[in-house]
Amino acid sequence: MIEALQNIEFTPFLISFKLATITAFVLFCVALPLAWYLSQTRSKVKPFIEAITALPIVLPPSVLGFYILWAFAPDSALGAFFEDAFGVKLAFSFTGLVVASCFYSLPFMVQPLQSGFESLNKNMLEASYVAGKSKFITLFKVALPNIKPSLLTAIIVTFAHTVGEFGVVLMVGGSIPGETKVASVAIYDMVEMMDYTSAHIYSAIMVLISFVVLLGVYIFNAKQVRRFGL
């Protein structure tokens, strides 16, 4: 057992966390304006955008993975463009994984932010406008600080969801050691090769980390409620 622990290869975990960190960061930048727009608009296109945003929740990861792989393929327009313009190969590469993860985890970032913004007292935002503050300042100084629990939930759940993804990662990234082999795929490989000891250790680590992260979120949110009555 101790020998098994010593021999454990941590690279898949590092890739998982690197992928999740980058995905959460990119998605935060993309989803923030989108969620703000959705929470403020009365436009008729809102349900369409919402439906598209929520698609990754209901679609089987294999469907999403298939389409992304198809779009990333070197002979497709998008794949060819990236290869020619930036010299980046999207299929079976880490960059491709990040892009795929962003699609896959989009709703987990957008939805908590949007519902957070929607739960804000509209008058509070208007008070800021009347005070002469632009929409931009209002978003960053008034809206965001008042939805801290939603903000944290959005970032952490996106992060955790990306760490936990399997189907899309396997299809788009394959299982290239040191490049696209994330922890969840590594566990799958171990089980396939009947290396149950390693699979046990990996799985236990995943459970532990996930639990600690979620516990942290809930403790923080409870504190926020006590402090601000949010």
Partner 1 sequence: MIHLSIQKKLQGAEENMRLEAAFSVKEGEFIALRGKSGSGKTTLLRILAGLEDAQGKIIVENETWLSKVATLPPQKRRIGFVFQDYALFENMTIEQNLLFVQKDKTLAAHLLELTELTALKNRYPNALSGGQKQRVSIARALMKRPKILLLDEPLSALDPQMRNKLQNELLTLHKEFGTTTIMVSHDPSEIYKLASRVIELENGKIIHDGTPKEVLLKTQGSQKFSFEGELLEIKKVDVIYVAIVAIGQQLVEVVISTNEAKTLKTGEVVRLSTKAFSPTISHS
**Residues lying near partner 1 in the complex (CB under 8 A):** 121, 123-124, 126-134, 141-142, 145-146, 148, 227-230
189: its two tokens:
């490989």
Q: What is the number of other CB atoms lying within 10 angstroms of the CB of residue 203?
A: 16
Shortest Å, Cβ 115 to partner 1:
17
| Closer residue to partner 1 in complex, CB, 9/126 | 126
Shortest Å, Cβ 148 to partner 1:
8
Shortest Å, Cβ 146 to partner 1:
5
Shortest Å, Cβ 128 to partner 1:
7
Phi, psi of 125 (to 5 degrees): -65, -40
79: its two tokens:
């794949």
Shortest Å, Cβ 110 to partner 1:
22
| Closer residue to partner 1 in complex, CB, 23/146 | 146
Q: What's 11's DSSP letter?
A: H
What's the full length of the chain, in residues? 230
- How many helices (H) and strands (E) the chain has is answered by 12, 0
Nearest alpha-carbon partner for 117 in 200, 35, 192, 204: 35
Shortest Å, Cβ 142 to partner 1:
6
Contacts of 135 (CB under 8 A, 6+ apart): 129
| Closer residue to partner 1 in complex, CB, 33/145 | 145
| Closer residue to partner 1 in complex, CB, 127/215 | 127
Q: What is the largest CA-CA distance in the chain?
A: 66
| Closer residue to partner 1 in complex, CB, 130/194 | 130
| Closer residue to partner 1 in complex, CB, 87/132 | 132
**CA angle, corner 27, sides to 59 and 165, nearest 5?**
45
SS3 state of residue 14: helix
